[in-house]
């Protein structure tokens, strides 16, 4: 058995876990304060030291919200972390007596789901995380697709409506402008602001103030049968399914795993997504369809995936996620 630490590094907090063969055997977290390379490294190192106190740990994997180079050494760009061309591997290894490897957070989550979650019986898997935006990870022939520079699978920025709303990436009409939790909330707020009686229960949920509406309220009301909220999730599911059909035309996965907070809506989201996927699939009726399933690991996916990447890199001579083992 191999035991490693997986860290899920976000802009305000770092969640960490000690993982043995996909099983979390210890966990802790730290706040980062104002995000910077120094604050993230300091908090991460402190977390590693705490987690390693009672376990024989072989290495550390860091799932980072940003662009990570293919070697797993540098954060090339992490806007929410205050980093640009940051040698985080080197910085961390100067603080902890363990080898460290980095990966993008969605890649790590995909690897976690593939190795130990919903995709563990597949060889070719697409992970779509539906949260504030859309993240993704791609497994082909049991390997994580990283691309020439390590930046593959930024699937939320596939353009689906040229000339559509401007995305935070600078382009217009990106997929995540239509199929993310932010898109769902934006549509719900517009419905409340319209004054339609159709949105009366949503209006009650936010006290008549659209700006106070929370995404969780949409899912909860849909689960209680509110037609407006069910329709909002159906619209989101349609965009999700259509985008996955386009991804399938390129990748041909056998499984599509949907994660992120919005997946708590279950089949209220996934059934419309499956229907739209089947309707827009290239060569529909003449090819197998990928199964459309919810993720299993929840918020632990990034930590478990990062720990697995570290285990394979440092204990297996190189990992199927695409990194090569390096000396500490």
Would you list the domain boundaries of the chain?
3-110+299-315, 122-295
Mean pLDDT, residues 44-58 taken together: 95
Average pLDDT, the chain: 93
Which pLDDT belongs to residue 62? 98
Which pLDDT belongs to residue 326? 42
Which tokens go with 5? 């630490």
Mean pLDDT, residues 92-111 taken together: 96
Residue 148 has pLDDT above 80, yes or no: yes
| pLDDT band for position 318 (cuts 50, 70, 90) | very low
Residue 126 has pLDDT above 70, yes or no: yes
Which tokens go with 57? 């740990």
Residue percentage of the chain with pLDDT more than 90: 86
Sole residue written with tokens 């949260």: 131
Instruction: Work out the number of other CB atoms within 10 angstroms of the CB of residue 327.
Output: 6
219-256 pLDDT per residue, tens: 999 999 999 999 999 999 999 999 999 999 999 999 99
3-110+299-315 and 122-295 agree in CATH topology: yes
Residue 324 has pLDDT above 80, yes or no: no
253-287 pLDDT per residue, tens: 999 999 998 899 999 999 999 999 999 999 999 99
Residue percentage of the chain with pLDDT more than 70: 96
Euclidean distance between the first and final Cα of the chain, in Å?
Answer: 21
Which pLDDT belongs to residue 95? 97
CATH architecture of 122-295: 2-Layer Sandwich (3.30)
CATH, domain range 3-110+299-315: 3.30.420.40
Which pLDDT belongs to residue 12? 82
Which pLDDT belongs to residue 34? 82
182-210 pLDDT per residue, tens: 999 999 999 999 999 999 999 999 999 99
Which pLDDT belongs to residue 189? 97
| pLDDT band for position 307 (cuts 50, 70, 90) | very high
Which pLDDT belongs to residue 322? 58
Helical (H) or strand (E) element with 301: helix 301-315
């Amino acid at each position: 058995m191999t035991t490693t630490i997986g860290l899920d590094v976000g802009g305000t907090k770092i969640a960490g876990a000690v993982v043995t063969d996909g099983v979390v055997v210890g966990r802790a977290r730290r706040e980062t304060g104002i995000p910077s390379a120094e604050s993230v490294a300091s908090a991460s190192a402190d977390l590693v030291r705490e987690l390693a106190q009672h376990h024989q740990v072989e290495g550390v994997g860091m799932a980072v919200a940003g662009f990570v180079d293919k070697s797993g050494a540098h954060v090339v760009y992490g806007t929410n972390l205050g980093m640009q061309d940051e040698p985080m591997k080197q910085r961390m290894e100067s603080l902890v007596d363990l080898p460290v490897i980095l990966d993008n957070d969605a890649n790590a989550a995909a690897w976690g789901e593939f190795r130990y979650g919903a995709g563990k019986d597949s060889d070719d898997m697409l992970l779509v995380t539906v949260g504030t935006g859309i993240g993704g990870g791609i497994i082909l022939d049991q390997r994580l697709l990283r691309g020439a520079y390590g930046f593959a699978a930024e699937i939320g920025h596939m353009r689906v409506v040229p000339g559509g709303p401007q995305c935070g990436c600078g382009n217009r009409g990106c997929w995540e402008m239509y199929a993310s939790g932010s898109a769902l909330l934006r549509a719900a707020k517009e419905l409340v602001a319209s004054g339609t009686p159709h949105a009366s229960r949503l209006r009650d949920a936010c006290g008549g103030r659209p700006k106070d509406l929370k995404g969780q309220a949409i899912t909860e009301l849909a689960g209680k049968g509110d037609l407006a909220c069910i329709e909002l999730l159906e619209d989101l599911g349609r965009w999700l399914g259509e985008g996955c059909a386009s991804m399938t035309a390129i990748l041909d996965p056998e499984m599509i795993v949907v994660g992120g907070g919005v997946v708590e809506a279950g089949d209220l989201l996934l059934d419309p997504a499956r229907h739209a996927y089947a309707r827009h699939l290239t060569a529909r009726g003449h090819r197998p369809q990928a199964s459309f399933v919810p993720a299993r690991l929840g918020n632990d996916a990034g930590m478990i995936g990062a720990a697995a990447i570290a285990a394979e890199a440092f204990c297996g001579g190189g990992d199927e996620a695409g990194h090569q083992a390096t000396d500490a």
